[in-house]
A = this chain, B = another copy of it.
Amino acid sequence: MHIGQDYLINLYMEAVESFLRDALTQAGDRGSSRLHEMLAFHMGWHSKSVKETRGKRIRPLLTLLTCSTAGGDWKRALPAAAAVEMVHNFSLIHDDIQDHSPLRRGRPTVWKKWGIAQAINAGDAMFTLAHIQTLRLEKTVSPIAAIWATEVLQNACLHLTQGQYMDLEFEKRDDVTIEDYWAMIEGKTAALISASVELGAITASCDNHTRKAYREFGRLFGLAYQVQDDILGIWGDTEMTGKSSQSDLLSKKKTLPILFCLSKKGEFAYRWNGGRFSIEQLPGLLELLEREGGKEWALARSVELVDEAIKALDAISPVNEAGQVLRNLTLNLAHRRV
């Protein structure tokens, strides 16, 4: 991307970060400063934090870019952008408890630092604050935009919990199909990313038809994003992702490349179904996974989804620099490294 586009991204990112910081201070009201501390720590704002440990903030960026390319004033969309990032982070705080993850972005997770009980509650506080933000659109955009945005966000949250229910259930099942996988990531990933884009369209006061088109673009973006995440979870560069490479393989997470090879019922499936494996067995499994086409097939799905997303976006004819950034972000999904 050229310099103007980088400038735009930085401008939006800084505005989001500053809005988020302000909005989250409310958690510390009424003598609950330590509750605020938990949320701030999770967001990567503790004293020693560096920008890289804060997460990508891709969802709020999508909201602001969409608002801008759809002809709206991105500054008015800031409450919506903050809301989607907060929902994402609420789900991360609860996810980390559910997955027993001790680390996120190189730092201890909230439950590891403050215990499970306080971490559940911290997630609940973050969730509440998210919804308080969309209501603020009443002042920055209009009362009806506030209602629509809150409605879209709530429905995405319900879909998110349905996807999470499936994901948790997958861990216990031996018969997860590729079809089950698509249904799961529709909820777990695509619902909130789709809502992030739709909220941008709502804050730009788009008509129903355009709003629906953006929603579909966001959905395809979200699906591509998750497939890419699955690929990075196995073949990603540790330094870039911040996660240990092949960790998804060790934890036996049923991601897309795995499910593809399991469906082939070959040597990989045989070894996978044999129980837990040690670190020493990983190279052999990785080789099988590639040889039996898991990586290639998942990459092809990712490219396909990116193509569909680009088609959906081009059909809306996005304008200006923000539209260009949105297009480039989508294209980059097919070869994102972090």
What residues on B are CB-neighbors of A34 within 8 Å?
A: 165, 169
Q: Cβ of A31 < 8 Å from any Cβ of B? A: yes
Asked if B128 and A35 make an inter-chain contact with CB atoms under 8 angstroms apart, the answer reads: no
Give me the 9 closest cross-chain CB pairs, A-B, nearest first.
A98-B117, A125-B161, A32-B162, A128-B157, A35-B165, A128-B158, A132-B154, A121-B164, A124-B161
Bound complex: CA of A125 vs CA of B166, how far in Å? 13
Tell me the minimal C-beta distance from A44 to chain B in angstroms.
Answer: 21
Asked if B150 and A135 make an inter-chain contact with CB atoms under 8 angstroms apart, the answer reads: yes
Point out the residue from B99, B147, B157, B162 that lies within 8 Å of A146, measured CB to CB. Answer: B147
Please, which residue of chain B has its CB at the minimum distance from the CB of A157?
B128
Q: Cβ of A27 < 8 Å from any Cβ of B? A: yes
7 CB contacts below 8 A, A to B, read: A34-B165, A98-B121, A116-B116, A121-B164, A125-B162, A143-B144, A150-B150
Bound complex: CA of A169 vs CA of B120, how far in Å? 13
Asked if A117 and B97 make an inter-chain contact with CB atoms under 8 angstroms apart, the answer reads: yes
Point out the residue from B35, B125, B161 that lies within 8 Å of A35, measured CB to CB. Answer: B161
Supposing A30-B183, A151-B135 touch, asked if A168 and B118 sit within 8 A by C-beta, the answer is: yes
Please, which residue of chain B has its CB at the minimum distance from the CB of A26?
B158
Asked if A32 and B117 make an inter-chain contact with CB atoms under 8 angstroms apart, the answer reads: no
What residues on B are CB-neighbors of A123 within 8 Å?
A: 120, 124
Tell me the minimal C-beta distance from A148 to chain B in angstroms.
Answer: 10
Bound complex: CA of A169 vs CA of B35, how far in Å? 10
Q: Which residues of A contact B (CB under 8 A)?
A: 26-27, 29-32, 34-35, 94, 97-99, 116-118, 120-125, 127-129, 131-132, 135, 138, 143-144, 146-147, 150-151, 154-155, 157-159, 161-162, 164-166, 168-169, 183, 186-187
Please, which residue of chain B has its CB at the minimum distance from the CB of A127?
B127
Bound complex: CA of A150 vs CA of B154, how far in Å? 12
> Which among A116, A151, A161 has the greatest number of chain B C-beta atoms within 10 A?
A161
What residues on B are CB-neighbors of A166 within 8 Å?
A: 31-32
Tell me the minimal C-beta distance from A42 to chain B in angstroms.
Answer: 14
Bound complex: CA of A146 vs CA of B134, how far in Å? 13
Please, which residue of chain B has its CB at the minimum distance from the CB of A164?
B121
Bound complex: CA of A151 vs CA of B136, how far in Å? 9
Bound complex: CA of A226 vs CA of B124, how far in Å? 22
What residues on B are CB-neighbors of A144 within 8 Å?
A: 143
Please, which residue of chain B has its CB at the minimum distance from the CB of A118?
B168
What residues on B are CB-neighbors of A97 within 8 Å?
A: 116-117, 120
Please, which residue of chain B has its CB at the minimum distance from the CB of A35?
B165
Supposing A128-B157, A150-B135 touch, asked if A162 and B30 sit within 8 A by C-beta, the answer is: yes
Please, which residue of chain B has its CB at the minimum distance from the CB of A168?
B117
What residues on B are CB-neighbors of A31 within 8 Å?
A: 162, 166, 183
Supposing A143-B147, A147-B135 touch, asked if A35 and B117 sit within 8 A by C-beta, the answer is: no
Asked if B147 and A120 make an inter-chain contact with CB atoms under 8 angstroms apart, the answer reads: no
Bound complex: CA of A43 vs CA of B132, how far in Å? 27
Bound complex: CA of A161 vs CA of B155, how far in Å? 22
